[in-house]
Amino acid sequence: MKNGKVSLLDKEMIEIYEEIGDQHILTSLNTPLRDDAFNLSDDEKIEQIQDHFRSIMNILGLDLNDDSLKGTPYRVAKMYVKEIFSGLNPLNKPKIALFDNKYKYNEMLIEKNILLQSTCEHHFLPIYGKAHIAYFPKNNVIGLSKINRIVQHFAKRPQVQERLSIQLLEDLKKVLASEDVAVYIDAKHMCVSSRGIKDTTSSTVTTAFSGKFKDAVTRKEFLSAIHNNQEY
């Protein structure tokens, strides 16, 4: 390997990279970011990514003079920075409104079937599915839509599903000032369905439980509720 690039002769490194990608190995609980990750402005990042993606398209042999393709490098760069990877920047984290728990509600509160759209960090292919979040309110309750926004924020970055589950759990514990939080994610990975094994039927389930949800009875109540497909 030279300058961080793999040559065709680096067979051992290629095998390691393939193993990590195919097995979806988690190497860090925090999203791996350099210290200088935000030295560039969004516009500067878009400009540089645009140039690099144009090079990729040229290498693939695509005709960038075609009306359909000439704007693609910019569109991809803007999408990366402003949309699907916007969760990398902590400044984009949604503002969270908490409300006094005036009704003294102390039972399980569940927000289920939250749309999850993320990107696998191993192949930069989509991850999509549902997230289910539960907690036991204490002094404060959170606006329901804010839970969805927190899920979207952490999903909008290159991810591994196990890390995403833990990041959601830890952040919600801080926001809610409560240990009693549960996270359940059921998602499909395009890196499994469109390449490699090409299995289009399987999905991946990850969970993260803390506080009261470590108790088997409480956990069973949560799991039963999210698997109840009753329509209203």
Reported as a pLDDT band with limits 50, 70 and 90, residue 8 is: low
Taking residues 153-181, report their average pLDDT: 96
89-110 pLDDT tens trace: 999 999 998 999 888 999 999 9
Reported as a pLDDT band with limits 50, 70 and 90, residue 144 is: confident
Looking at domain 16-92, its CATH superfamily turns out to be GTP cyclohydrolase I, N-terminal domain (1.10.286.10)
Instruction: Give the list of residues 6+ apart from residue 188 with CB closer than 8 angstroms, or none.
Output: 127, 128, 129, 202, 203, 204
230 is catalytic: no
120 is catalytic: yes
**3-state secondary structure at position 227:** coil
Architecture of domain 98-226: 2-Layer Sandwich (3.30)
Q: Which of 111, 120, 132, 152 is catalytic?
A: 120
Q: Which of 111, 152, 167, 191 is catalytic?
A: 191
Q: Which of 123, 132, 152, 159 is catalytic?
A: 123
Q: Show the DSSP H helices in 89-194 as ranges.
A: 144-155, 161-176, 190-193
Q: Which of 50, 111, 122, 132 is catalytic?
A: 122
189 is catalytic: yes
191 is catalytic: yes
8 A C-beta contact, residue 81 and residue 42: yes
C-alpha distance from residue 20 to each of 25, 102, 183 (Å):
5, 49, 25
C-alpha distance from residue 179 to each of 17, 102, 103 (Å):
36, 20, 20
52 is catalytic: no
Which sequence spans correspond to the domains of the chain? 16-92, 98-226
For the chain, percent of residues with pLDDT exceeding 90: 75
Q: Which of 50, 152, 161, 167 is catalytic?
A: 161
122 is catalytic: yes
Count of residues for the chain?
Answer: 232
Q: Which of 50, 121, 152, 167 is catalytic?
A: 121
Q: Show the DSSP H helices in the chain as ranges.
A: 11-23, 42-59, 72-78, 144-155, 161-176, 190-193, 216-226
| End-to-end CA gap in the chain | 57
